[in-house]
A and B are shown apart, each in its own frame.
Chain A
Amino acid sequence: AQSVTQLGSHVSVSEGALVLLRCNYSSSVPPYLFWYVQYPNQGLQLLLKYTTGATLVKGINGFEAEFKKSETSFHLTKPSAHMSDAAEYFCAVSKIGDKIIFGKGTRLHILP
């Protein structure tokens, strides 16, 4: 069975600092991996996805993630945090049948 683990339910970074949100997955087959963001009182929106090909994936709002098969990881990064990045972030892996498995989420706090 596939699963996703997000390390840290809350992460705080200073404005302008590096953002690193960690995600590890388990999968018996090559996975499809996603990061979603949820702003307060909204649904989830797709930040980026990995399917095949280049392992460094660029998404919206300056975020990127790198698929590392040897580490079964798909960590999300952004070089310089902005106050508007404060939100909850979900890592997800898809499996056959279109059921996406979501992690429990990481709430990102930006300190002024």
Chain B
Amino acid sequence: DVKVTQSSRYLVKRTGEKVFLECVQDMDHENMFWYRQDPGLGLRLIYFSYDVKMKEKGDIPEGYSVSREKKERFSLILESASTNQTSMYLCASSSTPGTPNQPQHFGDGTRLSIL
């Protein structure tokens, strides 16, 4: 079974801090994704990556950056946290770029509060 592990389930940070959210998958998947989930808005894609050191902006990249130094790890960075970034963050992975019928596998999420 695919395992996607997010480093923290709950996180509380202060405005202006630099925040790192870590995600690791154990199935050698090429594709990794970061979403944020807010009530009534569903899942919105922040960034995704098809390969090591490769990244592409999703629908809402402002205020975020990402890092993928190793295939299994995809980090989301909030450069200067703000209260409007309080949300649930979900990491996902899927195999083989170019095969849109492959479903994504999700971690359990990190509930981030910015005070």
Q: Which residues of A contact B (CB under 8 A)?
A: 9, 32, 34, 36, 41-46, 49, 51, 90, 94-100, 102-105
Q: Is B45 interfacial (CB-CB < 8 Å)? A: yes
Q: B40, B90, B100, B101: which contacts A43 (Cβ < 8 A)?
A: B90
Q: Known: A99-B45, A102-B43. Is A94-B100 also a contact (CB below 8 A)?
A: yes
| Per-residue contact bits, chain B 65-81, to A (CB 8 Å; 1 contact, 0 not) | 00000000000000000
> What does DSSP make chain B's interface, helix, strand, loop or mixed?
loop
Tell me whether A98 and B103 are in contact (CB under 8 A): no
Give complex CA distance A103, B41 in Å. Answer: 9
Structural contact, A98 and B31, CB atoms closer than 8 A: yes
CB-CB nearest in chain A for B109? A43
Which residues from A are CB-within-8-Å of B109?
Answer: 41-43
Residues of B participating in the A interface, judged by any CB pair closer than 8 Å: 4, 9, 31, 40-43, 45, 48, 50, 58, 90, 92, 94, 97-109
CB-contact partner of B108 in A9, A42, A104, under 8 A: A42
Q: Contact at B103–A43, with CB atoms within 8 Å?
A: no
Q: Are B102 and A98 in contact (CB under 8 A)?
A: yes
Chain A residue nearest in CB terms to B6: A43
Contacts of A44 in B (CB 8 A): 43, 90, 92, 104, 106
Is A95 a contact of B100 with CB atoms below 8 Å?
yes
Residues of A within 8 A of B31 (CB): 98
Within the complex, which residue of B45, B100, B103, B108 is in contact with A96, where a contact is CB–CB below 8 Å? Answer: B100
CB distance from B98 to the nearest CB of A (A): 7
Supplied contacts A43-B106, A102-B43, A105-B42, 17 more A-B pairs, CB within 8 Å: A43-B107, A43-B108, A43-B109, A44-B92, A46-B105, A49-B103, A51-B101, A90-B43, A96-B98, A97-B97, A97-B98, A98-B98, A98-B99, A99-B45, A100-B103, A103-B42, A104-B41
A-B contact pairs, 20 of them (CB 8 A): A32-B101, A41-B9, A43-B106, A43-B108, A44-B90, A44-B106, A49-B103, A90-B42, A90-B43, A94-B101, A98-B31, A98-B94, A98-B97, A98-B98, A98-B100, A99-B48, A100-B100, A100-B104, A103-B42, A104-B42
